[in-house]
Amino acid sequence: MRILNLAGKDLLQITRDWKSALFLVVMPILFTLFFGFVFAPEQDGDDPRLPVGLLNQDPAGSLAAGLNDLLTASDVVRPVTLDETGKDQRDK
């Protein structure tokens, strides 16, 4: 019974004092929105899929071409073709 009395007293105090409601309701919502905007991924036309490096050391082989086609069609990963040194070929 003492727990209910304490909970009732706390709820009554929150409803009487607007500053308590501000810090318990409004501030968490504002912090959530603020950090959502700060840490949101940029959506300026970039491909949202996870980039995966692809180094094809057998350009004549059909298995590597099939893997490249499979990764290109994927909704999760995006193949990034690398050269022999491991650098992205788009940077050239």
Query: Looking at the structure, do residues 64 and 85 belong to the same domain, yes or no?
Result: yes
What confidence tens digit (pLDDT) does each residue in 37-90 have? 888 766 556 777 888 888 888 878 788 888 889 999 999 988 888 877 656 556
Range of the domain at 23: 2-38
What is the distance between the alpha carbons of residues 83 and 92, in angstroms, rounded to a whole number? 10
Give 21-74 as a DSSP string.
Answer: HIIIIIHHHHHHHHHHHHSPPP-SS---SEEEEE--S-TT-HHHHHHHHHHHT-
Tell me the pTM: 0.44
User: What domain count does the chain have?
Assistant: 2
Those residues whose C-beta lies under 8 Å from the C-beta of residue 68, and which sit 6 or more positions away, are 54, 56, 79, 81
Whether residue 44 is contained in a domain is answered as no
Whether residue 26 is contained in a domain is answered as yes
Which has the higher per-residue pLDDT, 6 or 90?
6
Whether 92 has a pLDDT exceeding 60, the answer reads: no
Average pLDDT over residues 2-16: 90
Whether residue 45 is contained in a domain is answered as no
Which has the higher per-residue pLDDT, 81 or 29?
29
Q: Which two tokens stand for residue 37?
A: 């905007």
